[in-house]
Structure 1
């Protein structure tokens, strides 16, 4: 662990320097023994971050946006070689490899892809010989606490960061979570990257680069969005047993939308989707869904998912070229549209 320890020592120096700048840092500097012990903890945390390489099936719809070959990171969370990553890396994948070092690649199978949280799970098919990361609790995380972001694989890297906000996040691809973690400065190798605290505890899994890390009504600040691991803790048994949480069984239209000036605007239609079949177009503004007015992505998604069953007719009231229209859309269960990887 010589190289990892050298890295951990440098990182710990940075963390301590960052903490010293915060108003909350009134504690004395650690002794040499305490410093070494903490550096070892950080080295072990970094060792749990691996590279993830995935290849999607040839006819996967997700290739249009994500490409067929994908690369990012994941974190070992189980002694049996279970790895958590961001779900879009392994979406509709039929081949996954875990990259531990330049010359050590371990094949893996997809265990779960969860639409609701955005997490993906893969299982190593050979011993990883890596101690799993310890799970942390993002609930008590302070914006004053120095953090570190670690990516895996051949070009894995680490940097210091701070959480700048924790708030709900709505994605354009019919996705919403509460309590997303936003950090700065940004990392471009964010896909599946690990967010650790100074104790080496895993707090989140990297998803996106964002330009509004501070949130609406604040100055623009580039950063990253992380999916918090407290969302994973409560659904992990379900993911291992079923391949997805039950909350992932919900209506899907195939719309990519943005929230603009208090309105939900369609920017893209997924091919072969219910939205395409219903004749929806980019530029349409969604005014109501099943009679409920919507002015934000969060309100739109929650109204869509609230109804049951997942496969049902949805009534959308839209504006197109300043004219009001009503469109009927036959929603489907998103999980049934995916090209499933073997093993799920």
Structure 2
């Protein structure tokens, strides 16, 4: 199962012990001379931050669950008092029945799939018999997430249930594509929250939480070091709370996603290579009748080389460019047709 983002465990620096000094001629240690008011203030700052962490854990951890499907496991967040739990689509995979274990203990609970939406790597499951006292998480305002904010990650890495670690928001507004290896959905997701995250299997679908006891994202994936071929330390990504709420609300209300809010070009395509075997654009393999591309005059056999000022070399680069747009946006698209370039204005549709 694809791993999810777990914020790297950065231990809070506590008050330091006295520095051992060189004994003076009288035989007493010289470290006594360095104690003073500046050092005395440190424990108070450290204790305040520690208390803040502990309060968040106490308030939010009961809303984070462990989800087991077959031999795999992941995490989820209690969404409402009716037993709905939001998680990653790659956590549920092809399963439709699950075992859910609460952070507050007790036996496992039976749950079923409500719907999965792989295009945004999100899913909702529902506990068959929700227990009394089930605690829904509070989701924060995505627009208020800022770089440098302290965050806690809560989940079940490597089967270590109810684990909590700490880091910061490293960046916002990232557009990230996840692979299909290891059970990933291959989704390209916009506006992700980047965090100082160590990624471990079992954290997928957990909670990235601010110090106001609000879930600001669902940790989902880690960056991969192209040279090492493994997860890049300190670079993880979480689906923002606004996207989570939008998708989860539609699934709970309609049993499916009816409005993706994602832009579409209306083509089927594939990456093509130049004479040097380098990616050189996206060949249009099919055009949806009366779709955005069709109405703009894009034809089967065209090679898309530019989208709204962004050079396009692969299908992934086109998908990422689309992820940053909204349905209804007007975009100039340049295609190579029979050796010559042609630019058309496309009004984007909805995925």
Partners of 1:221 and 1:36 lie apart in 2 by: 28
Find the partner of 1:171 among 173, 178, 185: 178
Instruction: Report the CA distance between 1:163 and its aligned residue.
Output: 1.6
Provide the C-alpha distance between the structure 2 equivalents of 1:155 and 1:256, rounded to a whole number of angstroms.
42
Cα–Cα, structure 1 residues 262 and 182, in superposed 2: closer, same or farther, change >3 Å? farther
CA contact (8 A) 1:75 1:194 kept: yes
Structure 1 residue 231 corresponds to structure 2 residue 243: yes
Deviations 1:190-246 (A, max 9, x none): 31121000111001112112136xxxxxxx754221111111223333212132344
- Distance change (3 Å), C-alpha of 1:38 and 1:210: closer
Within 5 Å, give how 1:94-105 maps onto structure 2: 94-100=96-102, 103-105=106-108
SS in 2 for 1:110: strand
Residues 100-157 of structure 1, C-alpha deviations (whole Å, 9 max, x = no match): 2565200111112113321110111112332111011232222221100000476231
Q: How does 1:51-130 map to 2 (within 5 A)?
A: 51-55=66-70, 69-100=71-102, 103-128=106-131, 129-130=133-134
**Structure 1 Cα separation of the partners of residues 46 and 14 of structure 2:** 9
In the alignment, is the contact (CA less than 8 A) between 1:51 and 1:100 conserved in 2? yes
1:21 corresponds to which residue? none
Q: Which structure 2 residue ranges, 5 or more long, are not aligned?
A: 1-8, 16-43, 181-185, 226-231, 287-299, 306-311, 326-334, 337-350
Alpha-carbon distance in structure 1 between the residues aligned to 2:322 and 2:171: 27
Q: Match for residue 194 of structure 1?
A: 207
1:207 matched to which residue of 2?
A: 220
Return the alpha-carbon distance in structure 2 between the equivalents of residues 48 and 14 of structure 1: 24
The 8 Å contact of residues 279 and 313 in structure 2, kept in 1 or not, is answered as yes
Distance in structure 2 (CA, Å) of the matches to 1:180 and 1:119: 13
- CA distance in structure 2 between the aligned counterparts of 1:110 and 1:253, rounded to whole angstroms: 30
Q: What is aligned with 1:263?
A: 279
Verify the 8 A CA contact 1:168 1:180 in the aligned structure 2: yes
1:24 alignment partner in structure 2: none
Give 1:94 deviation, angstroms. Answer: 2.7
Contact 1:115 1:244 in 2 (8 A): no
Mean alpha-carbon deviation: is it higher for 195-204 or for 235-244? 235-244
Structure 2: how far apart are the matches of 1:163 and 1:237? 26
2:196 is aligned, of 155, 180, 184, to 184
Is the CA contact 1:135–1:229 (under 8 Å) kept in the aligned structure 2?
A: yes
Query: 1:36–1:92: structure 2 CA closer, same or farther, 3 Å change rule?
Result: same
Q: More relative contact order in 1 or in 2 (CA 8 Å, sep 6+)?
A: 2
- When the two structures are superposed, what TM-score results if normalisation uses the length of structure 1? 0.58
Q: Which moved more, 1:231-240 or 1:126-135?
A: 231-240
Does structure 1 conserve the Cα–Cα contact (< 8 Å) formed by 2:281 and 2:313? no
Tell me the CA shift for residue 77 of structure 1: 1.4
**Matched pairs, number:** 246
Is 1:144 aligned with 2:148? yes
TM-score normalised by L of structure 2: 0.57
* 2:319 corresponding residue in structure 1: 301
**Which protein shows a greater Rg?**
2
Change (3 A) 1:79 1:15: farther
Structure 2 Cα separation of the partners of residues 200 and 262 of structure 1: 48
SS of equivalent residue, structure 1 residue 139? helix
